[in-house]
Amino acid sequence: MPQILPPDFYDAFLSKEAKERKPSPIRGLFPLEATPGLISLLAGKPNAATFPFTSVQFTARSPSDPAKETTSTITGDALVEGLQYGPTAGIPALLEWLYGLQEKSHNRKRSADWRINVGSGSQDVIYKAVHAIINPGEPVLVESPVYAGVIPMFQTLNSEMIEVATDAHGIVADSLRSTLENWPAGKPKPKVLYTVPYGCNPTGMTATVERRKEVLALAREHNFLILEDDPYFYLYYGSAPRPASYFALELEEPEVGRVLRFDSLSKILSSGIRIGFTSGPAALVTALDSHTATANLQVSSLTQVITATLLNSWGYDEFLKHTETVSQFYKGKRDVFEAAMQKHLGGLAEWTPPESGMFYWFKLLLPAASDSDSEGDSEALIRTKAFENGVLALPGTVFLPNGRKTAYVRASFSLLEESQVDEALKRLREVIVDARK
């Protein structure tokens, strides 16, 4: 049996900000309102009888039969729950469903040592996690290239981002090991490693189980936590069986409690509904709740009730059927993009087709500008020439923590029709050919 890391293990990981943040005097007492026979004079909740909404209705396609649509009407107590303030960590019906999902998807049975909380998208909870752990000036390990959305979080904390090399198989564990083994004496040790293990944004890579296990072993050896940001988990469409998540794999380690996992419903239900969630050690998730209780009280009750109603009406099998349909949708888009890449950029760029997610990450084969800049720089070509030629993409430098020059480009293929893909890559080809003259 693995050892479950005890609550006081996290004392060394929580930031000063998290430790000093006092629990909300009101929100902390909310659960007591459910005491039988109690009359509560506690919360400043508006009286829902004054709210003008009398029902909320939505219609959704059935995962197993997309031609069939089912309408759900939210009224009565469920409506009041959706219109009223609710618990900081999330409404019970949604949390219950998510605990069941984590057991199904990651083999994590519900227990007191780990918790889930809901965020306004995963971005919200990632931000709060970073602030719950990192003190200003403390260094962090980030895979490189890295999701551009976390770079400003670390920059504003004045945190040095130590880049960990990645390749088509995920984090290069040997490079991580060498970074850790050669860590300068006296420099604070990194408390976290941030990674996007499936269909990484921007590289599209999915980390293999072997690499994940090596990273978990290094986390134990060098005492850091893994921030597993995984919004593309359900978008995996690779030919090999889906590798297990860090959150699942840590169950096979000698100790459990080093993974703080972030899921998102943005790519599978709706990005505008803003539901993401954290799963991980109770001490850390509770620190995120304290941040929420001060910053924005909670995630919208209404979107949580709508989401819980939909998910409960589906059940897990239908949900997983839906995610399979979504991942096959993106696989179709990937195949179209791959064909157009080969047609237009063969010999002009290098890439590995993604196996999850919605991004292509490719290296332009440009003439080197100088010795120190040997692989070339996509910045001017993408930002100016490609844009002027009618195609917009992101230069890879955006995803490098130190903003260094790179010949890489990120292209998103989630929205385009086949004819648009063909035209976009034809336009890109024209500017690359021109730059190579």
Residues of the shown chain interacting with ligand PMP in the complex, contacts defined by CB under 6 A: 121-123, 147, 149, 196, 201, 229, 231, 264, 266, 271, 276
For residue 195, the minimal CB distance to ligand PMP (Å) is: 10
For residue 206, the minimal CB distance to ligand PMP (Å) is: 13
CB of 278 or CB of 378, closer to ligand PMP: 278
CB of 144 or CB of 264, closer to ligand PMP: 264
For residue 289, the minimal CB distance to ligand PMP (Å) is: 18
Peptide bond connecting 202 to the previous residue in cis, omega within 30 degrees of 0: yes
CB of 231 or CB of 396, closer to ligand PMP: 231
CB of 308 or CB of 358, closer to ligand PMP: 358
Least Cα distance to 359 among 412, 397, 398 occurs for 412
Instruction: Please give the structure tokens belonging to residue 262.
Output: 């972030």
Kindly report the backbone phi and psi dihedral angles of residue 294, in degrees, each rounded to the nearest multiple of 5, phi listed first.
-95, -35
CB 250 within 8 A of CB 108: no
Q: What is the rounded CA–CA span in Å between residue 220 and residue 231?
A: 25
CB of 279 or CB of 381, closer to ligand PMP: 279
Return the number of other C-beta atoms located less than 10 Å from residue 49's C-beta: 6
The upper half-sphere exposure of residue 321, i.e. CA atoms within 13 Å in the direction of its Cβ, equals 12
For residue 130, the minimal CB distance to ligand PMP (Å) is: 12
Least Cα distance to 298 among 20, 95, 36, 102 occurs for 95
The residue nearest ligand PMP at its CB is 121
Listed as own residue / partner, the contacts of 285-289 with beta carbons closer than 8 Å and 24 or more positions apart are 285/89, 285/114, 285/115, 285/116, 285/117, 285/260, 286/115, 287/14, 287/18, 287/21, 287/128, 287/132, 288/117, 288/119, 288/125, 288/128, 288/129, 288/132, 289/88, 289/89, 289/117
Kindly report the backbone phi and psi dihedral angles of residue 200, in degrees, each rounded to the nearest multiple of 5, phi listed first.
-50, 140
Paired sense of beta strands 276-281 and 259-264, if any: antiparallel
CB of 132 or CB of 435, closer to ligand PMP: 132
Cα separations (Å) of 129 from 15, 48, 133, 213, 345? 10, 33, 6, 23, 40
CB of 30 or CB of 237, closer to ligand PMP: 237
CB of 269 or CB of 345, closer to ligand PMP: 269
Token pair 């296990």 is found at 213
Q: What is the rounded CA–CA span in Å between residue 180 and residue 221?
A: 10
